[in-house]
Structure 1
């Protein structure tokens, strides 16, 4: 299946099969189950995760001042005549906060690949957590509505060619360095026109396309020109995308830590501690995860333990251009 990683394929095949259970050796005094990768492709794995009630929904989308009809008749994002950008209008509003308090943001990607996983993430995580809709989702517009009704701002995933293909297959909607610039621009506009109401794009893979500067710049210029934000997922490993975005003055953020690269409770908990430490040392930090059961549970527990007077969860849109780009 093109466009999704093996873990995301497992999410999409919900109810059909599960991951094999893998147990790492437990140390003395350690709960061995905390290092266990449980099957997460069935609804059973998400049982017991509490939903959050009485959340104020974000405004309905689209704002007609922020769309134009594309050549194929679909709504495309634009900057309004009064200068309002989609990234501003569709972002989750942020109250005034003490600038001295460290801030961190969390993205959950792959929304729409699994119904159970996506609904659980949307319904159970605080509205400040930002959701990333997969362009390979069935009916992505429905997921934008669901997420915004639960108070979450949303981004669209932007697949990019990986140097590790076929082990990292970004799929048929991937921007590809072997294609002509205009072919990539058509692909970008296809994804842009899928849904209204998103703040910007989050890269997926990109270790090859992300260093093809001649191909990347027109993409970034189009994103900027339409008033959107770009988030480097950090998967490319080079930092080139963030640097080029900075040169073009494209509003941006960079994912510092993938919290569930290994989706065990211990690993996720450790990465969340690292995220908090990074936020305290650098004032801001961004983490990203997938809607796995362990990820959602550990994230809920960790967030509940944070004191907002010492460290604050914010939407990732609030961190635009606040990180140091190397």
Structure 2
């Protein structure tokens, strides 16, 4: 009897600590920040734990990173990758020593960054050796990685998983079509995905139309049963696992179409 009572207690304790079956979490990243103070400030004012992805080769990168950190927002480095160009951009064939120098310089331009995501990168994120090196370097620096999934051929998240690096992948691009109607539809798609698979990660840009939709709709998420959370919490929720919709992008799977514009 004592054994049965103990077993019942353990089962009840497990239920009490289990995550709710109907959880629906969402994280939102705003890319391409650091270019325009007015747009940046509007992005920074979005309600909730919206992540600020700051490009290193922009005139206001460092100042805005400091502002965002002071405001309590998560800051990540939006690292340019091929076909992006500029002094920080990663390209296939560039020696690893130069890639390391560009990463160092980019991180200096974006203080308080706790992770990185790729800006463009359809060719670069398909390169296994540089991606493996990057994930090892991020592990050493205690930074996480977000695969923007600008290409169906990406191996970035897979290489991060292989090294046990904290990582997540984007589910929805909000503003491939830059109208409030289309952006609203993509946000609703994110809501539906969050309800279906438990979480969704959305990426948008500081376009007026995107900011207008987010300013209006983010306060309404809870009424739709969705909780907006930060990227660090999202990584913990996903437990570094690939979402079902991303499984076809495993490097041994057939290559599909590009999943988002660059």
Q: Could you say which TM-score interval applies, normalised by the shorter chain?
A: 0.7 to 0.9
Q: Which residue of 2 aligns with 1:16?
A: none
- What CA distance in whole angstroms lies between the structure 2 residues aligned with 1:145 and 1:278? 33
**In 2, are the aligned partners of 1:201 and 1:230 still within 8 Å (CA)?**
yes
Shift of 1:211: 1.4
Are residues 1:324 and 2:222 paired?
A: no
Output the TM-score relative to the length of structure 1: 0.65
Question: 2: distance between equivalents of 1:306 and 1:215?
Answer: 38
Contact 2:168 2:235 in 1 (8 A): yes
CA distance, structure 1, for counterparts of residue 199 and residue 62 of structure 2: 31
Q: Is the 8 A contact 1:245 1:251 kept in 2?
A: yes
Superposition pairs of residues 110-189 of structure 1, within 5 angstroms? 110-123=32-45, 125-162=46-83, 169-189=84-104
- Segments of 5+ residues of structure 2 without an aligned counterpart are 1-16, 248-262
**Counterpart of 1:320 in 2: which secondary structure?**
helix
Q: 2:212 aligns with which of 297, 309, 314?
A: 297
Give the Å deviation of 1:268: 0.2
Of Structure 1 and Structure 2, the greater helix share is in 2
Q: Distance in 2 between matches of 1:98 and 1:242?
A: 25
For these two proteins, the number of residue pairs brought into alignment is 224
| Mapping of residues 53-64 of structure 1, within 5 Å | none
Q: 1:116 to 1:183 in 2, by over 3 A?
A: same
Unaligned runs of 5+ in 1: 1-95, 163-168
Compute the TM-score of the two structures, normalised by the length of structure 2. 0.80
> Of 235, 245, 258, which residue of structure 1 is paired with 2:173?
258
Partners of 1:317 and 1:196 lie apart in 2 by 17
Residue number among 253, 266, 270 corresponding to 2:185 in the alignment = 270
Q: Rate the CA distance shift 1:97–1:270 in 2: closer, same or farther, 3 A.
A: farther
Distance 1:259 1:276 in 2: 12
